[in-house]
Chains A and B, each alone.
Chain A
Amino acid sequence: MNIRIILLIFLFQVSGFSGIIAAQEPMNRNWDAEKIKGTRHIPYPTYSGFPFLNDSWSPGKIEFASGEIADSLYLRYSSFKDEVVYYNKAITTQIVIDKNSLNGFSFTEKDGRTRVFRKQYYDGFMKGNRYFEVLSDGETDLLSYRKVSLVTTMPYKDEQNILKNMVYGTEYQYYFYSQEKGYNLARMNSNSFLSKFVKESQKPIKKLLRKNRIRILDENSFVQAWKVVEKEGFKVIF
């Protein structure tokens, strides 16, 4: 008797599930309205130094100008050309994504750190759209422009024993950015940091940093210092 009841319940459940399964039309995996636009990535000339920010392909995602997001991509940010390159597995090609088709992108480093880049118009020297790394996001953002340039140096011989006199040199630039007030260049030292605030605030900020045992020596400590100061409500002057 009990077996009959169990069988009956099972039968009803099976009929219910089969209805659900039959109701689903097989979805095609290549269903994707927004496609990535770009050009083939041409390898850069070989010099000492490194033209990319990340030395290998990092898993990441891009945000199109329409706001749509494409993920599961392998990305590299070229600091030299300020462009993002992705690897298209289907056609085994490295493609430079059109800057005007994106709002930004992000990728995760090997150490698990996610780096977020946002396309913004820069109105200073060399006007135009640039990818800025967002170091801190708030009312006032702390941004970094990860610039790498080819600079002339003393002649040297590379691995192929070819004489060269250029290297890829990092020229990272940091900015405080407010949507209303624009960009304010910052340098990675205490004096530059304090000069971004009104005189009356500088002493309490110094005290705050001491209390939090922060000494501005590099990018990390600068970001940490800004986050602590911002939390206390101090405003950057533009």
Chain B
Amino acid sequence: MKKFTYLFMFLISISMIGKTQEKSGFGFFTDRDVYVSGETLLAKIFTPEDNPSRIVYLDLVNQFNSRVTGVSLEIKNNQADGFLQLPDSLGSGTYMLRAYLRNTAEKIKIMREIWISNRFDGLEKIDQLKRVAGLEKIQEQKSGQIEIENVDAIYQTNSDIAATIKIDEHLLKEIEGNLLVSVAQTDPSFDPASFIWSSDQFKEGMTENKGIILSGTVTDKKTSEPAAGVTVYLTIPDTIPGFQYYQTRKDGRFYFLLEDYYGPVQAVVQCFGNTPAQRVKIAMDGLYAEPGKIPEFIQQPFPEEFTGNIKRNIDAITFQKIFSQDKIKLATPGIKKQELSPYYGNPTKTVDPQLFIDLPNFTEISRELLPGVKFRNYNNEPTLQVINNNMHTYFTENPLILIDGIPIRDLNVIKDMGTADIERIDVCQNERFYGDLRFPGVVALYTTKADYSRLPESDQLIRMNLETIQLQPIVSEPEIKESSIPDLRQDIYWNPSVVPGENLPVKCITSSIVGQFKLIVRGRLKNGNLIYSEKQFEVK
């Protein structure tokens, strides 16, 4: 029996070890921990090595468990960096930043507690400081093998700093990836920390190893059951529109991959029932994870020092806004191989109606400018046919009709479009195929406004403003030419991609802000441990 008990305990301990190991692998750092609404927050995330995801999500959740904003960052060499624009309207209080991967979001999230002060209210409506409690802190080890040299105890405002980071050669071999080096104002009264939020009750999601996955469900409006066999279209309107389709299975689910899109993108997701009578409804899944359970908070009185710092921070950010001192610049992403032709192929002809006389409607345009395209509107029942050049006859079915790349079926949408409304018309006068879709000719209209206002509103069509993979930020150098304008940067150095070396120079200029500053070096070792070294100085 003793043997049996020992074995039981051994197996339990093994399973426990497995679970604690699963939690490691993340590191999450920000430029500071105390912010003002309207400011830009900079972040660096180390992601687990064994996760093939290309995307890590960074979002902001308030104390009431509502998601405020978020971005998706590209992971390169198991690390990602980016920024989050904090909305101007945020109320003062403690917020949680979350970092997670789509496939393991339900299992593990890394949270970082930050303070945001409203730029206009300050601390007027707040009397207590809420701090997170009850979550496991991510441990960082202070490394004695990283030395920060040539940093004075006191600096004047707007003076040069030329520090050197010296890393022991044995440690260099152990460091994985790049280092984060930052010099920013600190607030000792708000001790920062990152926490692990984990759950045993989870369902693994899809791995985004190629790019962001958009997903959703199509349901039959009559039965409220998932609709199978429905073709869902995703269009990214552009001069050469992006297009994908997906045929739902029994579960009514659909998925689209956004691989090569960066920055804000407009997208249209739509579907049509299997029969003209079938009415369906699209519901998109959220791009970001559900807020989930709120962490516990404990209330503390405001330290006096903290209140004073916040007032100075608000003044600094307000001046930065007035003088348009941007913290970051966006780098242009690498040029991707662009599609040479739209998904409907090279058009047989392209017409620019604006080069011709004014024509009031599409019937006139098709008659005068589009030989081989027959648009008729008898008894207010419009029909459209395109000639098949290979067979020298008109297709009997309606062609694929696109407005700014978005498929439409209702011809009433285009019947009143005159030459003033149309920038360009592409016509394909042959049978086109895209995957398993067949198009008996194509008529693609590109409007002058390109505002998609002509698209009919329905449950079968969703317009979205997507924030796809964030463009790589570069922290701005001070560009203040007039001596009368103060330099009010609280971050005076931020480089999340420092290649480890024995001697690393750090050159920066202090701003006009006075107070305590810290130069911090952070990194991750091959064994997953997070290390740091720091040096504090004062700007007077």
Contact = CB atoms under 8 A, between A and B. Distances in A.
Interface of A: 1, 4-5, 8-9, 12, 16, 22-28, 30-33, 35-40, 42, 65-67, 88, 90-91, 93, 95, 98, 100-101
B341 A100 contact: yes
B125 interface: no
B337 A39 contact: no
Contacts of B390: 40, 42
A71 B462 CA distance: 33
Nearest to B259: A33
B381 interface: no
Interface of B: 3-4, 7-8, 11, 15, 202-206, 210, 244-247, 249, 251, 253, 255-257, 259-260, 337, 339-341, 343-346, 390, 430-438
A98 B430 CA distance: 13
Contact of B436 (A8, A65, A88): A88
A23 B106 CA distance: 10
B258 to A, nearest CB: 9
Contacts, number: 94
A39 B431 contact: yes
Nearest to A66: B337
B142 to A, nearest CB: 36
B199 to A, nearest CB: 13
B257 A38 contact: no
A23 B204 contact: yes
Contact of B346 (A33, A88, A100): A100
A22 B432 CA distance: 42
A12 B433 contact: no
Query: Which of A24, A37, A100 gathers the greatest number of chain B CB atoms within 10 Å?
Result: A37
Contact of A40 (B8, B15, B341, B430): B430
Contacts of A90: 436
B244 A30 contact: no
A23 B15 contact: no
A141 to B, nearest CB: 22
A101 B337 contact: no
Given A98-B341, A98-B345, A28 B255 contact: yes
B436 A1 contact: no
Contacts of B259: 33
Contacts of A66: 260, 337
Nearest to B391: A42
B204 A36 contact: no
**Most A-side CB within 10 Å, residue of B244, B344, B435:** B435
B202 A23 contact: yes
B244 A33 contact: yes
Given A25-B205, A33-B259, A5 B4 contact: yes
A45 to B, nearest CB: 13
